[in-house]
Amino acid sequence: MQGRLPGAAIATAAAEAAKVTATPVQLLAAASVSVTLAASIMVWPLVGTILLLLVEVGFLAIVAWRLLTVIVSLRHRAEPVSAPPSPSPLPRYSIVVALYDEAAILPHLVERLANLDYPSELMDGYLALEAHDQETIDAARALTLPDWLHVLVVPPGAPTTKPRALNHALSVARGEFLTVYDAEDDPDPLQLREAAARFAAEDGELVCLQAPLRIRRLHKGRDTSPFLDRQFAAEYAALFEITLPAMARMGLPFPLGGTSNHFRVSALRAMGGWDAWNVTEDADLGFRIWRRGWRLGVLSRPTYETPPGDLVHWLPQRTRWLKGYMQTLLVHTRSTSGMGWKGWCAIALTLGAGLASAGLHALSVAWFGAFLLMTLMTRHLLATPWLGMGVLLCGAAAAILTTAIGARRAGTTFRPWDMLTAPLYWSLLSLAFAHAFVRLIAEPHRWDKTAHRPDVAREETAQFLEPLVVDAGRAAA
């Protein structure tokens, strides 16, 4: 792959990539385009019509892309029922979990990590804890940990984000490969073996493998929301069961999930680790791997996670995700080096399309609802912009089709009623988009933490049901 950035340049750029939200050139370009378009539309209304037509064509392209990913992913169905053949000898594996304010869920996390089917003498794991989070530190030190799992206190510093904690753990990790898990994760016990086998079977250009994340909740609690839980699970299924496997098969880069990504440690260190200033460091890293000339792939053995819960917990999680997408898009549009046409297509169809869709969902649903309401009130069909209506309906149909197929593959519930109410969930994404845009300007590097509680029977969780501290994200929700 020609024109990719050298390793030293990437390591240097990674350190402070998202520390600057937008460069003066980007701000000037955005202002110039906005003023020019606004003035042109006011003087020549035809410009507005042409602009609307281009937007509609763009969304038709997204519809075609969704259908393509479904077709391609049908050819990428690898679901092993037994342990994959492992390389001999097995490589050393590092496991890192960055935790903050997770004392309640820590015993369950340790139990799940202990269930991983991998030789303990070849594992070194780190619970990366913030120095000021004394409650979680005390809880971790009070537990009986496996011999290979260690408590690692991250020195004080800025920013206090997950990627900074991961970078500290990377500096001491002794494995040839490394994976990242989150506090609520329940990984398939054979996931490390599958990753080790895939890395051994591929050349050194494959430096990252993403395991599918599947959302499930075993027990209902005080903060659950059946509607949000099902829609959130289906949204993840579309991404991890359809989109990412298809992109991997097509040899395209993609934004990683925040957990269960497996790396070659040598490559990760050559890139300078994660961008500590980016609140979706995973999405950013996927495209930095591509710029370096390396490849990404996917695994079949999943990691199970719990959904955020009700709106108070869901909105900060989605806000952080969309704000991080904005950061990542700004970072990777500062330079053309190493991207190529495949890279630009991938970033436009993932980050760009995701942000555009989130921003327009509520407006589209409101427009369609107003059209139906006015038609019913006047009792005759109003003048209809058929192209716009067609684009809207095709987009909704493609999204629901992709989600339904992904949900079936992931074993997630997505019934006809869920399909009918999906536009309401999409409208909430517009709320998160607006919130993310404001927060990108006001607090670009603030980490809106998702609260986690043990997914066990209700009577077992009574001791963990103290009121949550209301931070900026949850206060806005």
Q: What is the pLDDT of residue 467?
A: 37
Neighbours of 434 (CB within 10 A): 15
Tokens read off for 435? 């919130």
Assign 37 a pLDDT band (cuts: 50, 70, 90): confident
Beta bridge partners of 153: 129
Q: What is the pLDDT of residue 72?
A: 92
Amino acid at 222: R
Our measurement of the distance from residue 335's CA atom to the centroid of its chain's CA atoms, rounded to an integer in Å, reads 23
- 42, with CB counted inside 10 A (0-12, 13-18, 19+), is exposed
Q: What is the pLDDT of residue 222?
A: 60
Q: What is the pLDDT of residue 448?
A: 78
- Count Cβ neighbours within 10 Å for each residue of 347-366 and write b for 16 or more, e otherwise: bbbbbbbbbbbbbbbbebbe
Q: What is the pLDDT of residue 451?
A: 67
Assign 85 a pLDDT band (cuts: 50, 70, 90): low
Assign 469 a pLDDT band (cuts: 50, 70, 90): very low
Q: What is the pLDDT of residue 455?
A: 64
Residue predicted with more confidence, 11 or 285: 285
Q: What is the pLDDT of residue 77?
A: 59
Q: What is the mean pLDDT of residues 113-125?
A: 95
Assign 470 a pLDDT band (cuts: 50, 70, 90): very low
d(CA 198, CA 188): 16
* pLDDT value at 135 more than 90: yes
Assign 321 a pLDDT band (cuts: 50, 70, 90): very high
- Count Cβ neighbours within 10 Å for each residue of 194-228 and write b for 16 or more, e otherwise: bbbbbbeeeeeebbbbbbbbbbbbeeebebbbeeb
* pLDDT value at 475 more than 50: no
Our measurement of the distance from residue 211's CA atom to the centroid of its chain's CA atoms, rounded to an integer in Å, reads 12
Q: Output the average pLDDT for the chain.
A: 86
Q: What is the mean pLDDT of residues 190-215?
A: 94
Q: What is the pLDDT of residue 3?
A: 38
pTM of the model: 0.87
Express each pLDDT in 68-84 by its tens digit. Answer: 999 998 876 544 444 45
Q: What is the pLDDT of residue 465?
A: 38
d(CA 113, CA 115): 5
Q: What is the pLDDT of residue 10?
A: 43
Is the separation of the CB atoms in 140 and 58 below 8 Å?
no
* pLDDT value at 16 more than 70: no
Q: What is the pLDDT of residue 464?
A: 38
Q: What is the mean pLDDT of residues 200-214?
A: 94
Peptide bond before residue 107 is cis, with ω within 30 degrees of 0: no
Q: What is the mean pLDDT of residues 402-427?
A: 93
Express each pLDDT in 402-414 by its tens digit. Answer: 999 999 999 998 9
Q: What is the pLDDT of residue 221?
A: 60
Share of the chain above pLDDT 70, in %: 86
Q: What is the mean pLDDT of residues 363-369?
A: 85
Beta bridge partners of 180: 96
Q: What is the mean pLDDT of residues 95-108?
A: 93
d(CA 390, CA 388): 5
Least confident of 327-331, 358-362, 388-392, 419-423: 388-392
Q: What is the mean pLDDT of residues 93-118?
A: 94
Tokens read off for 405? 């197929």
Amino acid at 4: R
Q: What is the pLDDT of residue 250?
A: 94
Express each pLDDT in 222-274 by its tens digit. Answer: 667 889 999 999 999 999 999 999 999 999 999 999 899 999 999 999 999 99
Express each pLDDT in 372-386 by its tens digit. Answer: 888 888 877 766 677
